[in-house]
Amino acid sequence: MFFAYIGFDAVSTAAQEAKNPQRDMPIGIIGSLVICTVLYILVSGIATGVVLYPQLDVPDPIAKAADQAQMGWLARIIKLGAIAGLSSVILVMMLGQTRVFWTMSRDGLLPPFVSNVHPRFKTPWVITIITGVIVALFGGVLPVGDAGNLCNIGTLLAFVIVSIAVLVLRVREPNLPRKFTTPWVWVIAPLGAISSLILMAFLPGETWLRLLIWFGIGMVIYFAYGVTNSKLAQSAPTKAAKLETK
Protein backbone atom coordinates (compact mmCIF):
# COMPACT_ATOMS: atom_id res chain seq x y z
CA MET A 1 0.00 0.00 0.00
CA PHE A 2 2.80 2.40 0.86
CA PHE A 3 4.66 1.70 -2.39
CA ALA A 4 1.52 2.60 -4.36
CA TYR A 5 1.47 6.08 -2.84
CA ILE A 6 5.09 7.20 -2.99
CA GLY A 7 4.70 8.78 -6.43
CA PHE A 8 2.32 11.51 -5.36
CA ASP A 9 5.09 13.64 -3.87
CA ALA A 10 6.51 13.88 -7.41
CA VAL A 11 3.85 16.51 -8.09
CA SER A 12 5.61 18.89 -5.70
CA THR A 13 8.89 18.63 -7.64
CA ALA A 14 7.22 20.39 -10.58
CA ALA A 15 6.14 23.36 -8.44
CA GLN A 16 8.47 25.76 -10.25
CA GLU A 17 6.85 24.80 -13.56
CA ALA A 18 3.35 25.61 -12.28
CA LYS A 19 1.79 29.01 -13.02
CA ASN A 20 0.18 29.27 -9.59
CA PRO A 21 1.81 26.70 -7.25
CA GLN A 22 -0.02 27.95 -4.17
CA ARG A 23 -3.31 26.90 -5.80
CA ASP A 24 -2.19 24.21 -8.23
CA MET A 25 -0.03 22.05 -5.93
CA PRO A 26 -2.72 21.24 -3.32
CA ILE A 27 -5.24 20.56 -6.12
CA GLY A 28 -2.77 18.32 -7.98
CA ILE A 29 -1.65 16.33 -4.94
CA ILE A 30 -4.97 15.97 -3.09
CA GLY A 31 -7.00 15.54 -6.29
CA SER A 32 -4.78 12.75 -7.61
CA LEU A 33 -4.75 11.10 -4.18
CA VAL A 34 -8.55 11.02 -4.00
CA ILE A 35 -9.04 9.74 -7.56
CA CYS A 36 -6.36 7.06 -7.30
CA THR A 37 -7.53 5.91 -3.87
CA VAL A 38 -11.02 5.29 -5.24
CA LEU A 39 -9.59 3.42 -8.24
CA TYR A 40 -7.28 1.37 -5.99
CA ILE A 41 -10.21 0.32 -3.80
CA LEU A 42 -12.34 -0.64 -6.80
CA VAL A 43 -9.57 -2.68 -8.43
CA SER A 44 -8.68 -4.39 -5.15
CA GLY A 45 -12.32 -5.19 -4.46
CA ILE A 46 -12.82 -6.74 -7.90
CA ALA A 47 -9.53 -8.67 -7.77
CA THR A 48 -10.24 -10.19 -4.34
CA GLY A 49 -13.77 -11.01 -5.49
CA VAL A 50 -12.33 -13.09 -8.34
CA VAL A 51 -9.24 -14.62 -6.66
CA LEU A 52 -8.60 -15.48 -3.02
CA TYR A 53 -6.35 -12.75 -1.65
CA PRO A 54 -3.45 -15.05 -0.59
CA GLN A 55 -3.13 -16.08 -4.26
CA LEU A 56 -2.62 -12.43 -5.30
CA ASP A 57 0.78 -12.22 -3.60
CA VAL A 58 2.52 -12.44 -6.99
CA PRO A 59 4.37 -9.90 -9.19
CA ASP A 60 1.36 -9.61 -11.57
CA PRO A 61 -1.85 -9.80 -9.45
CA ILE A 62 -4.03 -7.99 -11.99
CA ALA A 63 -3.00 -10.39 -14.75
CA LYS A 64 -3.72 -13.36 -12.47
CA ALA A 65 -7.19 -12.02 -11.65
CA ALA A 66 -7.91 -11.44 -15.35
CA ASP A 67 -6.83 -14.99 -16.24
CA GLN A 68 -8.86 -16.46 -13.36
CA ALA A 69 -11.96 -14.64 -14.62
CA GLN A 70 -11.46 -16.23 -18.08
CA MET A 71 -12.04 -12.92 -19.86
CA GLY A 72 -10.35 -13.99 -23.09
CA TRP A 73 -9.17 -11.10 -25.29
CA LEU A 74 -10.26 -8.57 -22.64
CA ALA A 75 -7.68 -10.04 -20.27
CA ARG A 76 -4.92 -9.12 -22.74
CA ILE A 77 -6.15 -5.51 -22.80
CA ILE A 78 -6.16 -5.42 -18.98
CA LYS A 79 -2.58 -6.72 -18.92
CA LEU A 80 -1.50 -4.08 -21.44
CA GLY A 81 -3.18 -1.44 -19.27
CA ALA A 82 -1.25 -2.65 -16.22
CA ILE A 83 2.03 -2.44 -18.15
CA ALA A 84 1.14 1.06 -19.37
CA GLY A 85 0.36 2.08 -15.78
CA LEU A 86 3.72 0.85 -14.52
CA SER A 87 5.51 2.62 -17.38
CA SER A 88 3.78 5.91 -16.59
CA VAL A 89 4.76 5.60 -12.91
CA ILE A 90 8.41 5.12 -13.91
CA LEU A 91 8.29 8.21 -16.13
CA VAL A 92 6.72 10.33 -13.38
CA MET A 93 9.31 9.22 -10.84
CA MET A 94 12.08 9.95 -13.34
CA LEU A 95 10.64 13.43 -13.90
CA GLY A 96 10.56 14.11 -10.18
CA GLN A 97 14.10 12.85 -9.56
CA THR A 98 15.61 14.88 -12.41
CA ARG A 99 13.91 18.05 -11.14
CA VAL A 100 15.39 17.43 -7.69
CA PHE A 101 18.87 17.07 -9.22
CA TRP A 102 18.29 20.17 -11.37
CA THR A 103 17.37 22.26 -8.32
CA MET A 104 20.35 20.94 -6.34
CA SER A 105 22.66 21.87 -9.23
CA ARG A 106 21.16 25.33 -9.51
CA ASP A 107 21.78 25.80 -5.78
CA GLY A 108 25.41 24.71 -6.20
CA LEU A 109 25.12 21.32 -4.47
CA LEU A 110 25.86 19.43 -7.72
CA PRO A 111 28.06 20.35 -10.74
CA PRO A 112 26.66 22.94 -13.20
CA PHE A 113 26.23 20.47 -16.11
CA VAL A 114 23.42 18.78 -14.15
CA SER A 115 21.20 21.86 -14.58
CA ASN A 116 21.81 22.20 -18.34
CA VAL A 117 18.47 22.81 -20.05
CA HIS A 118 17.74 21.67 -23.60
CA PRO A 119 17.47 24.72 -25.91
CA ARG A 120 14.34 23.38 -27.62
CA PHE A 121 12.46 21.29 -25.06
CA LYS A 122 13.45 23.40 -22.01
CA THR A 123 14.07 20.31 -19.88
CA PRO A 124 17.18 19.15 -17.95
CA TRP A 125 18.15 16.66 -20.65
CA VAL A 126 21.68 15.73 -19.49
CA ILE A 127 20.68 14.57 -16.01
CA THR A 128 17.56 12.92 -17.46
CA ILE A 129 19.75 10.67 -19.64
CA ILE A 130 22.17 9.92 -16.79
CA THR A 131 19.35 9.11 -14.36
CA GLY A 132 17.62 6.90 -16.93
CA VAL A 133 20.77 4.87 -17.57
CA ILE A 134 21.48 4.39 -13.85
CA VAL A 135 17.87 3.41 -13.09
CA ALA A 136 17.86 0.95 -16.00
CA LEU A 137 21.11 -0.67 -14.80
CA PHE A 138 19.91 -1.12 -11.23
CA GLY A 139 16.47 -2.22 -12.41
CA GLY A 140 18.06 -4.92 -14.57
CA VAL A 141 20.40 -6.21 -11.84
CA LEU A 142 18.48 -6.01 -8.57
CA PRO A 143 15.63 -8.39 -7.71
CA VAL A 144 12.22 -6.72 -7.61
CA GLY A 145 11.90 -7.17 -3.84
CA ASP A 146 15.28 -5.59 -3.08
CA ALA A 147 14.65 -2.71 -5.47
CA GLY A 148 11.26 -2.10 -3.86
CA ASN A 149 12.72 -2.10 -0.34
CA LEU A 150 15.46 0.34 -1.37
CA CYS A 151 12.90 2.63 -2.94
CA ASN A 152 10.72 2.40 0.17
CA ILE A 153 13.42 3.17 2.72
CA GLY A 154 14.94 5.95 0.62
CA THR A 155 11.58 7.66 0.17
CA LEU A 156 10.69 7.25 3.84
CA LEU A 157 14.00 8.77 4.89
CA ALA A 158 13.33 11.71 2.57
CA PHE A 159 9.91 12.16 4.22
CA VAL A 160 11.54 12.19 7.66
CA ILE A 161 14.15 14.76 6.61
CA VAL A 162 11.62 17.01 4.88
CA SER A 163 9.23 16.93 7.85
CA ILE A 164 12.02 17.92 10.24
CA ALA A 165 13.42 20.50 7.81
CA VAL A 166 10.04 22.26 7.61
CA LEU A 167 10.09 22.74 11.39
CA VAL A 168 13.71 23.92 11.33
CA LEU A 169 12.88 26.51 8.66
CA ARG A 170 9.88 27.73 10.66
CA VAL A 171 12.24 28.46 13.57
CA ARG A 172 15.29 29.76 11.67
CA GLU A 173 13.46 31.62 8.90
CA PRO A 174 10.05 32.62 10.29
CA ASN A 175 9.70 35.53 7.82
CA LEU A 176 10.74 33.57 4.73
CA PRO A 177 8.25 34.15 1.86
CA ARG A 178 6.23 30.97 1.35
CA LYS A 179 4.03 30.20 -1.66
CA PHE A 180 2.33 27.45 0.32
CA THR A 181 2.17 27.09 4.10
CA THR A 182 1.57 23.73 5.75
CA PRO A 183 -1.48 23.95 8.05
CA TRP A 184 -1.03 22.77 11.68
CA VAL A 185 2.67 22.29 10.93
CA TRP A 186 3.64 21.53 14.54
CA VAL A 187 1.27 18.55 14.47
CA ILE A 188 1.53 17.36 10.86
CA ALA A 189 5.33 17.53 10.51
CA PRO A 190 6.15 15.53 13.70
CA LEU A 191 3.47 12.95 12.87
CA GLY A 192 4.87 12.66 9.34
CA ALA A 193 8.39 12.04 10.63
CA ILE A 194 7.28 9.56 13.32
CA SER A 195 4.99 7.55 11.01
CA SER A 196 7.75 7.30 8.39
CA LEU A 197 10.25 6.10 11.00
CA ILE A 198 7.76 3.45 12.16
CA LEU A 199 7.38 2.16 8.59
CA MET A 200 11.17 2.13 8.18
CA ALA A 201 11.52 -0.02 11.29
CA PHE A 202 9.68 -2.89 9.58
CA LEU A 203 12.14 -3.08 6.66
CA PRO A 204 14.88 -5.77 6.59
CA GLY A 205 18.34 -5.20 8.08
CA GLU A 206 19.98 -5.60 4.65
CA THR A 207 17.93 -2.69 3.36
CA TRP A 208 19.10 -0.54 6.30
CA LEU A 209 22.71 -1.44 5.52
CA ARG A 210 22.28 -0.42 1.88
CA LEU A 211 20.64 2.81 3.00
CA LEU A 212 23.63 3.64 5.21
CA ILE A 213 25.99 2.99 2.29
CA TRP A 214 24.02 5.24 -0.05
CA PHE A 215 23.68 7.88 2.66
CA GLY A 216 27.44 7.75 3.20
CA ILE A 217 28.06 8.25 -0.54
CA GLY A 218 25.73 11.24 -0.46
CA MET A 219 27.59 12.74 2.50
CA VAL A 220 30.91 12.32 0.69
CA ILE A 221 29.55 14.17 -2.35
CA TYR A 222 28.14 16.91 -0.13
CA PHE A 223 31.27 17.54 1.93
CA ALA A 224 33.61 17.10 -1.06
CA TYR A 225 31.68 19.42 -3.39
CA GLY A 226 28.32 20.73 -2.20
CA VAL A 227 29.30 22.37 1.09
CA THR A 228 31.93 24.59 -0.60
CA ASN A 229 29.84 25.42 -3.68
CA SER A 230 26.46 25.94 -2.05
CA LYS A 231 25.02 29.28 -3.16
CA LEU A 232 22.85 29.39 -0.06
CA ALA A 233 25.91 29.06 2.19
CA GLN A 234 27.72 31.76 0.22
CA SER A 235 24.79 34.15 0.54
CA ALA A 236 24.49 33.65 4.31
CA PRO A 237 27.55 35.79 5.23
CA THR A 238 26.27 38.53 2.93
CA LYS A 239 22.93 38.57 4.69
CA ALA A 240 24.64 38.62 8.08
CA ALA A 241 26.82 41.55 7.02
CA LYS A 242 23.76 43.51 5.87
CA LEU A 243 22.06 42.92 9.20
CA GLU A 244 25.13 44.14 11.07
CA THR A 245 25.28 47.35 9.03
CA LYS A 246 21.64 47.99 9.79
- Asked whether the CA dihedral 197, 199, 200, 204 is positive or negative, the reply is positive
C-alpha 171/C-alpha 3 separation (Å) is: 32
State residue 130's pLDDT score.
92
H or E stretch covering 190: helix 185-201
Of 153, 159, 169, the C-alpha closest to 190 is: 159
- Asked whether the CA dihedral 225, 229, 234, 235 is positive or negative, the reply is negative
State residue 243's pLDDT score.
46
Radius of gyration of the chain (CA): 21
State residue 14's pLDDT score.
74
State residue 19's pLDDT score.
81
Task: Enter the pTM of the model.
Answer: 0.74
Of 99, 94, 83, the C-alpha closest to 134 is: 94
Number of Cβ within a 10 Å radius of residue 12 = 16
C-alpha 28/C-alpha 47 separation (Å) is: 28
pLDDT in tens, the chain (246 residues): 666 677 777 777 777 777 888 788 888 888 888 998 898 899 889 889 888 888 888 777 888 888 888 877 887 888 888 788 777 778 878 888 888 898 889 899 999 999 899 888 888 899 999 999 998 898 888 887 888 888 889 889 988 999 999 999 999 988 888 877 888 999 999 999 999 999 999 999 999 999 999 899 999 999 999 888 888 777 765 554 554 555
Contact 132, 94 (CB under 8 A): yes
Contact 22, 183 (CB under 8 A): no
